[in-house]
Structure formats: C-alpha cells, structure tokens
Amino acid sequence: MVMKFTHYYIIACFSALFSLIPFAGANAQSRKVMNRPYIDQRLFHYGFLAGVHLQDIELQQNGYVDANGNQWYAEVPNYEPGFSVGILGEFYLTKNLALRVIPTMHFGTKNLTFRNELNAEKQTQTIKSTYFSVPVNIKFAGERFNNYRPYIVAGVNPVLDLTVKKQKQYLLTNTDCYLELGLGCDFYLPYFKFIPEVKFLYGLSNVINKDRSDITDEAQLIFTQSVDKAKSKMIVFTFYFE
C-alpha cells in the first residue's frame, strides 16, 4: 500500500510541475537570450534517453473454482521501479508537430500475490521482463518562450519481451502493443536540450498465455483458468538529452 501511495504521489507531482510551466511563462517579466534557437527547425535531430518506469498488469478474473473448492485471486501489491535507456530520433513536420521514433530497452519487474479464498493461503510470483520497444509518437509542442517549450505526445509502441521464461503460475506472451499518451517540456540549455517527460502506456493485447502444456502439475492450472484476460500497463518517467 505504501508503494501504491508513492506511485500516485509521484504522478501528481509531475503533473503539477508540468501544469505550472505555462503559468511561469505568462508571468515572466522579459524575454531572455534564446539558447540553440534553430534546433527544432532542423529536418532531423537525435539524442539519447534514460529514465525509470513502473510496470503493472490488470487481470480480468472469472472466479473459477476447482473440484477441491480452491478459488484463487491475483493482485499486484507493490511496484518496483525499473530502468529504461534508449535513443531518440525526431523528424520535423511543421512548426508545432514532429514525428518521434524512440528505440528503447526497459528492464523491470512485476510482483503478483495469489490469495486462496478457501483457506487464505498465499503464493507469490515475480516476473522479470526485458522489453525492447520502438515507440512511434506524434509530438505537439506549444509556442517556445525563452528557453522552454511544453508539449504533449501520443502514439503506439510495439514491444518484444526478450526474457520470457516458463513461470509456475502465470506465463506471459512475449509480444504486446501499447497506446501511449504523455507530456513534457523542452528546456534549451547552452550546449544541449534537456527534456523531462512522463508517459502513460496501456497494453492492447491479452498477455496471458492460456496454452500451459508445459505444466505437469494440474493443480497449477487453476491460476491460468481463473483469468480471462490480462492487460499490461506502464508509467515511464524519462529524461532526454538532445
């Protein structure tokens, strides 16, 4: 519960930070010397990124009960921050629009707790993931004021999990595709552009692998049978350097 509170607190802080950017610009007393004034007008520019993320999984459970009366429910009790690195390529479209391609690696973990409604027994499963993703985003930026420029992004993100392993309870597929929505701000420094960004990702695919021919203990099948769908979600906090 503490980690969940921290999770939402971080989101609120970032949202409040970005919401203050236009207000700060409106109250500025004078314009300053513009750093790197033509960087956004180049046909193509690139950079690299580093950041942290939180992985989640949304389970649609059906309340399946086996012959012994066992009924298991799963939840994500806490979140462990993961690490993200990648490169950014941005193509100029118009004064306010750009196309971004961002090959990225995400290294992270999902923790699941299973609870037996019959006797309150609990089991846990840790799923480690190494995602290779290639987000394609449209960036809509506001007007630049002095040395910052807020923006929003939206797009799709195909993902390949490079480390899928046989799991005791749930086995996840190795492919997915996310919808993305985020916001950030370009800060123009004398020698480079620094860009903090927060982005929300929602998976479109059912990532539970229902074919568990690898399981020899039939008692373990109740975990897969009790879930109809599972959708992945992520929140990514990124720092770009161009």
* 19-41 residue pLDDT tens: 444 544 444 457 778 888 888 88
| pLDDT score at 88 | 97
Residue 3: its pLDDT value, please?
A: 44
pLDDT in tens, 145-171: 999 999 999 999 999 999 877 667 888
pLDDT at 143: 92
Radius of gyration of the chain (CA): 22
178-206 tens-digit pLDDT: 999 999 999 999 999 999 999 999 999 99
Q: Judge whether residue 5 has pLDDT over 80.
A: no
The pLDDT tens digits for 69-110 are 888 898 998 899 999 999 999 999 999 999 999 999 999 999
What confidence score (pLDDT) does residue 23 get?
A: 45
On the 0-12 / 13-18 / 19+ scale of CB atoms within 10 A, 122 is exposed
Looking at this protein, which amino acid is placed at residue 98?
A
| 24-32, Cβ contacts within 8 angstroms, sequence gap of 24 or more | 25/145, 25/146, 25/148, 28/145, 28/146, 31/145, 31/146, 32/146, 32/147
Check residue 29 and give its pLDDT. Answer: 52
Over the chain, what is the mean pLDDT? 86
**Mean pLDDT (whole number) for 133-142:** 97
